[in-house]
Amino acid sequence: DMDSTLISIECVDEIADFVGKKAEVSAITEAAMRGELDFNASLTRRVALLKGLSTEVLNEVYNKRLQLNPGAETLLDGLKQRHIRTALVSGGFTFFTDKLQTRLGFDFVLSNRLQINGNNLTGGIDGDIVNADKKAQFLQNTCEAIGATTAQAIAAGDGANDLKKMHLSGLSVAYRAKPTVRAQADIQINYSGLDSILHVLHATTNQTAN
């Protein structure tokens, strides 16, 4: 997951700040991540509020507001050293996932494409929305593509729309997550960084070896 898992922000909330609607959009985001709202409807509603914004705002958010969560780079480096393939799937936007794929070397990415007319956002999304079902299907398809089973996958997230993919995986990680996600995950990371996942892998490897 990207927003609030790999990175410290919810991109849609920060974009909305440029039209003075961050509080309104953040409230919708929070409710959706707690599982209180239909994700498709909530995202459509949030993105509609961005209509007319210049695409330059996306650069502003990426360059000035987006930060990786602690341990993100160490985690990705550690996974590569172990020859573990990586995938970033998000209910957020391709503008950000594409940049993070280049920056961190993810093997696979999937997210929503904001509809653009000229240099402005239309307030719409191109194609199907990446929701909980799409995230789970992406995990399944990615595993099949590399000849793995979902039981061999690790899935990390923080919101209700991550639960279906987490249930499919062999190890689910709730990263500073909503209560409903923490309650259903195999492990929780509430204080330390994402690189804590490497410690779990190390411990699991040692148990298997023994």
Q: For 98-115, write each residue's pLDDT tens digit.
A: 999 999 999 999 999 999
Question: What is the separation of C-alpha 52 from the centre of its chain, rounded to a whole number of angstroms?
Answer: 25
Q: Find the catalytic residue in 1, 13, 162, 195.
A: 1
Q: What are phi and psi of 113, to 5 degrees?
A: -100, 115
186 tagged catalytic:
no
Q: What is the pLDDT of residue 208?
A: 46
In which residue are the tokens 């949030």 written?
A: 46
**How many CA atoms within 13 Å lie on the side-chain side of 98?**
8
Q: What is the pLDDT of residue 201?
A: 87
Q: What are phi and psi of 112, to 5 degrees?
A: -90, 145
Name the residue among 12, 181, 188 with its Cα closest to residue 94.
12
* Mean of all residue pLDDT scores within the chain: 95
Q: What is the mean pLDDT of each run of 10 residues along the chain (210 residues)?
A: 98 97 96 95 97 97 98 98 97 98 98 97 98 98 98 97 98 97 97 95 60
- C-alpha angle with apex 155: 153 to 158, nearest 5 degrees? 175
Q: For 163-196, write each residue's pLDDT tens digit.
A: 999 999 999 999 999 999 999 999 999 999 999 9
C-alpha to C-alpha distance for 168 and 176, rounded to whole angstroms: 20
Q: What is the pLDDT of residue 5?
A: 98
The answer to whether 144 and 163 have CB atoms below 8 angstroms apart is no
3 tagged catalytic:
yes
